[in-house]
Structures are given as structure tokens and as C-alpha cells.
Amino acid sequence: MSIDFPHRQSAHCESGVTANLLSYHGQRISEALAFGIGGGLFFGYFPFVRINRLPLITFRSAPGAIFKKCVRRLGARVRSQTFASPREASAALDRALAAGIPQGLQTGVYWLPYFPPALRFHFNAHNLVAYGRDGEDYLLSDPVFEEPVRCPRGDLERARFAKGALAPKGRMYAIESFAPDGDLAKAVRQGIREVCNRMVRAPIPLIGVRGVRLLASRLERWPERLGREQAVLHLGHLIRMQEEIGTGGGGFRFIYAAFLQEAAAILGNPDLSGLAEELTETGDLWRQFALLAARNCKGREGANSTFSALAEQLRDCARREEQIFRALLKVV
Amino acid sequence: MSETSEFTKRLKQLIVETCNIPDAPEDVPEDAPLIGPDSPLDLDSLDAVEVVVAVQKAFGVRIGGEEGAREVLQSLRTLAEFILREQNKR
């Protein structure tokens, strides 16, 4: 049993799954457009929330939010379920596939056997689409892979019920009904406004450009507060959150800039192209920060990669992004 | 020798200098993992940032956006193919 599902590779799993599910239902959109309409860009620094003893630093909105917001803004109805047991979850997946409905699944990466061992890590908010079954193997469209993959039932059940932070609890989601003639321009505007509000109008100092400035002031004091070893661990963690795990680099800034370029054409507004270029430059600035921070971690630092210099770089990112997102608010 | 093979040698030299690897092996298979525990150059994810920025400076090609760094940085060959492909687009 197999559904004719349009697999496309993407940089980030949730926006890739969202774009692919929408394409299956007749609205062919890019990963960048799905990310932007879903209001994916974010900055949050939550020093009191710890993951593996390190502070939560995130460059994207909460897991599941991109899919939910994007498809709803495009006028689709969504069905999302969690389950008490692997058996129940697999039975529901089998029923849905037999009915010809591809299903988005939240999984833990560590238990997916088709991931090379070097890339397996304990991250429980990985997204993929199940589009068929061949005996005891599920046919999967995992957007971080070039081609569709197969996964035995037992392994998929373990991945769907991985334990720990962001445990998926068998979460399965699908587009229930969709008429692909929704107001794309309206959805684009809604997505942009949400991100702008978060970046420059957040009421708490942990989010948006205020969050970047808070991180800068904390980072500056990490060596004296934590000691060199812990400070470097924190710095390495920040670089990984920014440049790895499917961000497309620059903490999702490059993907969001690609979205703004598409938005310029959809809304017929060339100002958005200019802002996309400015955001790409900011992505380069974030990447430059990561480069200097990596040199610090490796003990190869110079005058421009001390903790104080890195904090200044972050403040520069915040200053430029404040200008960009305030300008963006005026455009939409 | 193909265009890509010749280019991978140049890339390897750039990476060795950028990431400061004095004891780099002479021969690095084009398809060997570039980053991670199996990397013959012993590069980790922090070195990957160095490589991405060095490639942008040397060849004017940005690795990012929808074509993720993970795919591009799989091996010297995938990196070389990506750069040549992007340069040919111009």
C-alpha cells in the first residue's frame, strides 16, 4: 500500500513536511514559503530552561507551530492526535494509510535506523511523512534525505514514543480537508506580522531583539560566572543551535530571506526584496559571529573573538534586526 | 582528471589551512565524510562553520537557505560539486 506522495528534500524538517503535505493536497509551495507563512522565525533565550544542562536558545518557533499556523492560514483543516501506546499509534497510522491519507509524524531522531550513526542524537521534534507500508516496513518521506526511506515498524514505534524533552507521544497529524484556492497574500501578511511582533514588540526581555541583547550581556559574563570550560560549552551550544539542526544557517535568517523574496512577488511589493537582502546580510553577520565563537571554543581566538567582542557582535545583530523588522511591519 | 577531482584537491588545501590541521593526511578520499567522527581530517561541527565562511570568502558561494549545509558538507566531492554548480549559475 503506497500513496503517490511528492517527496522533496529540505533544510528544515517541519517546514519541509508542511510544504510537501500542502503540495500533495494541491498547493505547491516552497519550504521557505511554508516557513514564513507559518511564522517560523523566532529568537528566544531562556536561561532558566535547561536542555542537557545548557540554556534553551532557540531560533525558531515551538515544534508543531509552523505546520499548524501555515496550513490554517491557507484555509486547511488539520487533525492532530497523540496516543497512549505504540500499538494504538501504529493501528491508527495503518488505518489512515489504508484510507489514502499521508500522515505527518513527530519522532525522535535517535531511533530512526536510516540516519547515519554520526547524525543520530536525542532530539524528539523531528518531523517526517508516512505515505505507505510494504509488509512490516513503513515508507517514509523524511525531508532531510534526498530520497524516500523505509523504516521497520518496531523502530518507527520506538521513534514515535521516544522519551525525554519534547516527547512525541506518538503524535500524528494530517491535513483533513483543503481547497487550494485560499488567499495566499493574506496568509503571507499574517505570517510576517506574527514574526515582526515577536522580534520587536515582545513584552518580555527573553524574546526577539531584546532576547538577543540579554544573551549578549549574559555571554559577556560567562567566563567569570561559569569558568572557561563551562563558558566554552555554552558557546559551542549556541553555535550548534544557530548553524546546525536544519536552520539553513544564520539561525534561519537565510531561509526567511528567501521567504521575503517570494513574498515580494506575491504581494507585488519590491520593498520586501530590499529587506530580504538586508536580512541575508544579517544572516552573514550571525554566521561571522559563529565563526569567531568557534575559534574561541577551539582556543584559536584573537582580539575579535573574546567574549566581550562576541557580545558586541550580538548587539550589532540585534540593532540591525530591529531596523529590519520595524521596517517590515510598515510594509505589511 | 575530472574538473571536480582537481577542484577537491584545492578545496582540501583551503580546509587544511583554514582549520589549522598541521598533520592532515596526504590522501583524503573524495567521498569520505568531511565532518564528524569518521572524518579523515578530524573536522567537527565547529570546524564546519569555518569551512562554510571560508568557502563564501574564497568562491563567493553562500552555503545556506534551503540547500542545507548538512548535505553540502557530506564530503569533499559534494562540497566541490555544490560550489561548481553555484558558480555555473552565474
Identity of the residue in B38, B46, B63 whose CB atom sits nearest the CB atom of A249: B63
Quick check: A239 contacting B, CB < 8 Å? yes
Q: Give the residue-averaged pLDDT of B35-57.
A: 88
Query: Per-residue pLDDT for A103 more than 90?
Result: yes
Q: Give the residue-averaged pLDDT of A28-49.
A: 94
Identity of the residue in A11, A119, A244 whose CB atom sits nearest the CB atom of B65: A11
Query: Per-residue pLDDT for A120 more than 80?
Result: no
Question: What does the pLDDT look like over A82-101, one tens digit per residue?
Answer: 999 999 999 999 999 999 99
- Residue of B55, B66, B72, B86 to mutate when probing chain A, most A C-beta within 10 A: B66
C-alpha distance across the termini of chain B, in Å = 24
pLDDT at A241: 87
Query: Per-residue pLDDT for A122 more than 80?
Result: no
Query: Per-residue pLDDT for A128 more than 70?
Result: yes
The model's confidence at residue A301, banded by pLDDT at 50, 70 and 90, is confident
CATH architecture of the domain formed by B3-89: Orthogonal Bundle (1.10)
Asked whether A200 and A211 are in contact (CB, 8 A), the reply is no
pLDDT at A88: 97
Query: Per-residue pLDDT for B1 more than 80?
Result: no
pLDDT at B65: 63
Question: Which residues from B are below 8 Å from A when comparing CB atoms?
Answer: 20, 33, 36-38, 45-50, 52-53, 56, 62-71
The reply to whether residue A257 touches residue B65, judged by beta carbons under 8 angstroms, is yes
Rounded CA separation A279/A289 (Å): 15
The reply to whether residue A249 touches residue B65, judged by beta carbons under 8 angstroms, is yes
CATH T-level topology, domain A13-177? Cathepsin B; Chain A (3.90.70)
Q: Give the residue-averaged pLDDT of A61-89.
A: 93
CB-side neighbour CA atoms (13 Å) of A93: 30
Query: Per-residue pLDDT for A118 more than 70?
Result: no
pLDDT: which is higher, A197 or A117: A197
pLDDT at A245: 65
- Residue that has been written with the C-alpha cell 569518521 in this structure: B38
Query: Cβ contacts (< 8 Å) between B44 and chain A: which residues?
Result: none
Rounded CA separation B78/B75 (Å): 5
Helix (H) or strand (E) holding A176: strand A172-177
Identity of the residue in B33, B52, B67 whose CB atom sits nearest the CB atom of A11: B67
Q: Give the residue-averaged pLDDT of B29-39.
A: 89
| Crossing angle between the packed helical segments B76-89 and B45-59, to the nearest 10 degrees | 30
Give the residue from chain B lying closest to A289, CA to CA: B49
| Burial class of residue A138 (count of CB atoms within 10 Å of its CB; 0-12, 13-18, 19+) | buried
User: Taking the domains of chain A in order of start, what are their residue ranges?
Assistant: 13-177, 184-331
- All three cell numbers of A98: 489504508
Query: Cβ contacts (< 8 Å) between B37 and chain A: which residues?
Result: 118
Neighbour order of strands in the sheet with A172-177 = A77-81, A172-177, A103-107, A126-134, A137-141, A149-152
Note the pTM of the prediction, 2 decimals: 0.89
Query: Per-residue pLDDT for A264 more than 90?
Result: yes
Average pLDDT, chain A: 92
Give the residue from chain A lying closest to B33, CA to CA: A118
> Pick from A82, A290, A322: which is nearest to A211 by CA?
A322
pLDDT at A316: 97
Q: Give the residue-averaged pLDDT of A172-188.
A: 88
pLDDT at A177: 83
Q: DSSP character for A81?
A: E
Q: Give the residue-averaged pLDDT of A306-321.
A: 96
Question: What does the pLDDT look like over B67-81, one tens digit per residue?
Answer: 667 778 889 999 999
Strands A41-51 and A54-60: what pairing?
Answer: antiparallel
The ipTM is 0.78
User: Taking the domains of chain B in order of start, what are their residue ranges?
Assistant: 3-89
Q: Give the residue-averaged pLDDT of A40-68.
A: 90
Average pLDDT, chain B: 86
Query: Cβ contacts (< 8 Å) between A283 and chain B: which residues?
Result: 64
Question: What does the pLDDT look like over A203-249, one tens digit per residue?
Answer: 999 999 999 999 999 999 999 999 999 999 999 999 988 887 667 67
Q: Give the residue-averaged pLDDT of B32-36.
A: 89
User: What one-character-per-residue DSSP string does B68-90 give?
Assistant: -HHHHTTBHHHHHHHHHHHHHH-
Quick check: A297 contacting B, CB < 8 Å? yes
pLDDT at A135: 94
Question: What does the pLDDT look like over A153-164, one tens digit per residue?
Answer: 999 999 999 998
